[in-house]
Amino acid sequence: MTDPSAVRPAPPGCPAHPDAVRLAGLEYQQTPSQLYRALRREHGAVAPVLLDGDIPAWLVLGYSEVTYVTGHDELFARDSRRWNQWENIPADWPLLPYVGYQPSVLFTEGDEHRRRAGVITRALEGVDQFELARNCQVIADRLIAGFAGSGQAELMTGYVHALPMRAVVQMCGMPTSGDDTQQLVEDLRISLDAAEGDDPVAAYGRVGERLRQLVKDKRERPGPDVTSRMLLDPAGLTDEEIVQDLISVIAAAQQPTANWICNTLRLLLTDERFAVNVSGGRLSVGEALNEALWLDTPTQNFIGRWAVRDTQLGGRQIRAGDCLVLGLAAANTDPQIWPEGHVGAENAAHLSFSNGEHRCPYPAPLLADVMARTAVETLLERLPDLVLSVDPETLAWRPSIWMRGLTALPVRFTPVVQ
Q: What is the pLDDT of residues 53-98, one digit of tens each?
A: 999 999 999 999 999 999 999 999 999 999 999 999 999 898 888 8
Structural domain includes residue 3: no
pLDDT digits 0-9 by tens, 290-337:
999 999 999 999 999 999 999 999 999 999 999 999 999 999 999 888
User: Given this model, what pLDDT does residue 178 score?
Assistant: 73
User: Given this model, what pLDDT does residue 5 score?
Assistant: 34
Structural domain includes residue 1: no
CA 22-28-29 angle, to 5 degrees, is 95
Calpha distance 144→373 (Å, rounded): 16
pLDDT digits 0-9 by tens, 273-293:
876 555 554 458 888 999 999
Structural domain includes residue 372: yes
Structural domain includes residue 68: yes
Residues 6+ apart with CB under 8 A from 32: 26, 300, 329, 401, 404
List, as one string, the DSSP characters of 388-403: ESS-GGG--B-S-SSB
- pLDDT-based confidence at 35, cuts 50/70/90? confident
The amino acid sitting at 321 is G
Q: 389 or 180: whose pLDDT is higher? A: 389
Structural domain includes residue 192: yes
Question: Residue 49: exposed, middle, or buried by beta-carbon count in 10 A (0-12, 13-18, 19+)?
Answer: buried
User: Given this model, what pLDDT does residue 281 score?
Assistant: 47
pTM above 0.85, yes or no: yes
Position 376 pLDDT exceeds 60? yes
CATH number of the domain within which 35 lies: 1.10.630.10
Structural domain includes residue 118: yes
- pLDDT-based confidence at 205, cuts 50/70/90? confident
User: Given this model, what pLDDT does residue 203 score?
Assistant: 87
Q: How many domains does the chain have?
A: 1
- Note down the domain range covering 235: 21-412
Structural domain includes residue 285: yes
User: Given this model, what pLDDT does residue 192 score?
Assistant: 66
Structural domain includes residue 8: no
Position 6 pLDDT exceeds 60? no
User: Given this model, what pLDDT does residue 14 score?
Assistant: 44
Length of the chain: 418
User: Given this model, what pLDDT does residue 15 score?
Assistant: 37
Q: How many C-beta neighbours within 10 Å does residue 303 have?
A: 18
Over residues 136-140, mean pLDDT: 96
Angle between the 162-171 and 364-382 helix axes, to the nearest 10 degrees? Answer: 130
Position 10 pLDDT exceeds 60? no
Please report how many Cα atoms fall inside a 13 Å half-sphere around the Cα of residue 301, on the Cβ side: 28
